[in-house]
Each structure stands twice: as C-alpha cells, then as structure tokens.
Chain A
Amino acid sequence: ILNVEQSPQSLHVQEGDSTNFTCSFPSSNFYALHWYRWETAKSPEALFVMTLNGDEKKKGRISATLNTKEGYSYLYIKGSQPEDSATYLCASDSGNTPLVFGKGTRLSVIA
C-alpha cells in the first residue's frame, strides 16, 4: 500500500447502531497513525494519535485499534448518535515526513 486508503467512502447508520470503518496505510517507515473527526462547517478535530502495534484507544463511545505490521486501523463507534455524523479522516505519520491523509469516511447517523 503506497497511499492511505479509507473505506467505506460513506456510511449511513440508524441511531443506536454500532459501526466501524477502516484505514489502510503503508506499514513501512511507520511512526504514528492519526484519526480526526471533521464535522460540517467546523475544523477537523484530533481524536487519537496511535503509535504502538496492538494499541487500542478510547474516547467516550469511540475507540480505535492499530495493526502496524499489516498496516491498518479500525475506528469503532458504539451506539451511534446524530452528533457523530461527520467525516472521519485518518493520516499516516512517518515521523520526519508530512502527514498523508486518506479521503475520509463520511458517516451519517439517522435519527
């Protein structure tokens, strides 16, 4: 994998459903993996910065896991709420090179 890829591109879920999406990144020269939440008409907000293989981070109903050997990270949202509707971006960090962002997953939570 040369680029950062996110899937799915968009997702519609019902309120209360749990959901997850994927970020794939180059596993070579890995330093950190960033997740951001970007709500419409607002600025991207940092969710997690993950560095260790097998790491799992949690913030409220949102959690993320990291596999640096195979180059992927999952973001999970438990019991989705309408306020979770946003674009979720991940970015690969090689330490001394710029962040490389994926195109994002657009999540819509339907009440």
Chain B
Amino acid sequence: GAVVSQHPSRVICKSGTSVKIECRSLDFQATTMFWYRQFPKQSLMLMATSNEGSKATYEQGVEKDKFLINHASLTLSTLTVTSAHPEDSSFYICSARTSGGLYTGELFFGEGSRLTVL
C-alpha cells in the first residue's frame, strides 16, 4: 500500500521555540493532506486540510497563526508549531489522499509525531 512518512517521530523542545514536522507521501502524489492531533486516550482531532499550492483550511478552534501548514509540493506538507507551550504537547498525525477519483482511494496515515514541550 501507499506509504506516508512523518519526521521526526519524537521531538522534545523548550517552551517558546518552534517545531516543524514533515509529512511525505513516498510513493504517490497527494494533492491533499490532513493534519490531526491526538491527546492521550482521546480520538484523533482534525486540525486542518492542506492543499498543494494553496492555503490550508483550518478547523474551527484551531489557531492558524499557531499551527503553520505549508504544502509546497505534491509529496510534502509541513506543520510548524510556533512558540510551543506545554499544552501543545500531543501526538500529531498526518494523512495523505491519493490523487484519484472523487470516491476512490483511501487516506493513508503517517506513523505520527510525538511532541513534548518542556
């Protein structure tokens, strides 16, 4: 199946710094990628939809200036957590949709990136 890779898988940073997480589709092109956040023992919460070459669409309640998303190519989307604080500590997961037809092709998920802000 299609492979989505996230990097880094784990990152620890100090409060106030910015952290960038990469999401790559390794063997397919993805015009659309999605970013999720998951707190312990909770479900995945959609943060934003990232479209190649255009601005991301954020879900209600997600600060776009806090979570910067860039989808510069058909195989790469990045999420930057700016001025991170301990409450931003979470598991961040991306998914990528194959550039297939409207109702074909499942979304493939990366393995997630665990962010710990000290």
Tell me whether A and B are bound partners: no
Spell out B's residues near A (CB within 8 Å).
Answer: none
